[in-house]
Structure 1
């Protein structure tokens, strides 16, 4: 455009010189110069072509990420309740067993013999008590004799209960349904009450224990959704927050929380490191493409096309999610924002939204120019 005006000006200058040399011009030249000047003055700055996007409502999920460790919902070390020698054992490591499954049998021959003795004494005590009660009913035996016989019967019953416990203690069973761990015991080995025979984990559900910063204490509550992924796996496990700690560490300024996850297929086990995403809030907010935001210091602005001009609008932003920025204040859903050329646009600049349906003009190639006869 500027080159055209310069060329016209040069032509007029030459014409003016020729007219003056031939003795005419004056009003005619003045009129031509005035018209050209008017045409040049009417042409304002060219409108910049820009791309735009609509501010739309979208679901915003506010999450916090942490790292935690897994733990079986129930987990115990299996220890003998009394010292003894291993008579037999059946510990299917890595296999799930039901509650009451017999894992180890200690030698109980002495205890069974003692049980039979007590059972015999109990029979005698029962017979004595029955005869004494019959005699007492006939006023043949004194009441004191009956009391003594009943006391002996109670004592024999207590001895029987104790003898049965001694026998039962030498049979070690699974206290609940779970997966059995490894073992190093052998038949004939003597076990002490402090020896760990194996482990038992209830892996039907898994707890993930992790820490959160003090700043989130008032935002966290049981039932909030959790997602977890393990190292080397893309599988996402879903669960919920089950327990929130009641104390904040005075040094590290964090508190402990626990999430509960279903693990029916036994994929997870105790001691795994997991990445956990805690969903704090889900809300619907106005969003714009990230490209529409211009950050100037602590201030965020967007440009809105209004009547052919770019108008600057200050906004308050929230979260960035999937390439879109949450707008908390300053923009309504359905408004249009400019997404290109923002570094060269100022408030009030002329803009023209690009027609998204129009095809971009093809660049002229050397072959095309030669075919048209315009190549040099």
Structure 2
């Protein structure tokens, strides 16, 4: 039998050693034995710690802030009257012109009397005559010189004369148009000497103190405002004014389901005209609210708008918000409990119910929030 070559003997030896090693089932040399030495209870905390996300939180400052309800509107006169004639005639007196200020009862237009003044004078003389006759009849009746029926006829004639005078004076008064209230003459429709018909407009008078800002508030916000509450008005030219809610309609506009609101604005110098576009901000009673940057607001899984916060056990909670005001410094929000820490960084990477590792936000963020809440400019 021929001798086996050396390389064949070496191959057989390696095969036998490898088979023996596999048969033992020991693989500790690759590190698995060290892992199996740890119990599941020991591995779970390490796994949980590795999965916790770090988020930035703050104890948001809370302030008393009046709810702001912003609506679009326009300015309007407190009173507006289109004056018209009550009789036909020729304009004899026109003492007013555009822009004049008039007082209540001041003459606006007077038409030619055309004999009506004479009719008044005639009726006045007749009344004086009837009064004298009635007095004479009364004295005679008291002495029994005339029957009572004759006295009654004299008293009836007196009453008719008095009625005739009143009718003549009323007919003459129809030729005169007076201002019904103090205001400004905004329009004059007639000229001196022109002919007008009964019912024709002759002038328009506006009362612009106070001037009104009119708008409509939604049914959702109706419960937050009431007459007497303050309001701010910003005109289209940038001018800002202060006013007070004077009236809120109790009957909704059928097409929009909104309610008319009137805000009275002092306007002694009549510098605010009627008909200007205005943004009206109604201020309700102050409520406890939290000031937060706009970036904090997020959406829940159901699509609701709100913020995320962590509770005492570092569990993420979602809180729907109530927008109290939108200021240049940030959002003023209601509906956030006092005992939660608001997440201001990392809120988009987590979900409700997650356990997180909350850390206090950086000093600059906290300083900014405090500055916004207190109104400081530092």
TM-score by length of 2: 0.69
Q: Is 1:328 matched up with 2:332?
A: no
Distance 1:355 1:115 in 2: 90
Q: Which residue of 1 is the match for residue 18 of structure 2?
A: none
Q: The residue matched to 1:67 in structure 2 has which SS?
A: strand
Q: Which residue of 1 is the match for residue 187 of structure 2?
A: 182
Shift of residue 209 of structure 1?
3.0
Distance 2:273 2:235 in 1: 11
Distance 1:168 1:82 in 2: 9
Distance 1:278 1:353 in 2: 35
Q: 1:209 to 1:123 in 2, by over 3 A?
A: same
Q: Which residue of 1 is the match for residue 226 of structure 2?
A: 221
Q: 1:316 to 1:182 in 2, by over 3 A?
A: closer
Native 8 Å contact 1:317 1:325 kept in 2: no
Q: Which residue of 1 is the match for residue 281 of structure 2?
A: 277
Shift of residue 174 of structure 1?
0.9
Q: Which residue of 2 is the match for residue 151 of structure 1?
A: 156
Q: Is 1:239 matched up with 2:235?
A: no
Deviates more, 1:296-305 or 1:55-64: 296-305
Native 8 Å contact 2:55 2:343 kept in 1: yes
Q: 1:68 to 1:301 in 2, by over 3 A?
A: closer
Shift of residue 314 of structure 1?
3.5
Q: Which residue of 1 is the match for residue 265 of structure 2?
A: 261
Deviations 1:26-49 (A, max 9, x none): xxxxxxxxxxxxxxxxxx98x999
Q: 1:355 to 1:283 in 2, by over 3 A?
A: closer
Q: 1:354 to 1:103 in 2, by over 3 A?
A: closer
Q: 1:85 to 1:49 in 2, by over 3 A?
A: same
Deviations 1:214-240 (A, max 9, x none): 334444533333322221223233221
**Structure 1 unaligned blocks of 5 or more:** 1-43, 357-376
Q: Which residue of 1 is the match for residue 66 of structure 2?
A: 61
Native 8 Å contact 1:226 1:241 kept in 2: no
Determine which of 169, 190, 196 is the counterpart of 1:191.
Answer: 196
Shift of residue 192 of structure 1?
1.3
Shift of residue 86 of structure 1?
0.9
Q: 1:225 to 1:79 in 2, by over 3 A?
A: same
Shift of residue 98 of structure 1?
0.8
Shift of residue 171 of structure 1?
2.3
Native 8 Å contact 1:316 1:327 kept in 2: no
Shift of residue 110 of structure 1?
0.5
Q: 1:110 to 1:52 in 2, by over 3 A?
A: same
- CA RMSD, 1 decimal: 3.4
Alignment of 1:102-121 (within 5 A): 102-121=107-126
Q: The residue matched to 1:70 in structure 2 has which SS?
A: strand
Deviates more, 1:113-122 or 1:261-270: 261-270
Distance 1:348 1:48 in 2: 5
Shift of residue 70 of structure 1?
2.8
Aligned residues: 309
Q: 1:301 to 1:234 in 2, by over 3 A?
A: same
Shift of residue 52 of structure 1?
5.7
Native 8 Å contact 2:92 2:110 kept in 1: yes
Alignment of 1:1-376 (within 5 A): 53-249=58-254, 251-293=255-297, 295-297=299-301, 298=303, 302=308, 312-319=316-323, 321-322=326-327, 323-324=330-331, 326=333, 328-329=335-336, 332=339, 337=342, 339-340=344-345, 347-349=355-357, 354=362
**Structure 2 unaligned blocks of 5 or more:** 1-48, 365-378
Shift of residue 92 of structure 1?
2.9
Shift of residue 173 of structure 1?
1.4
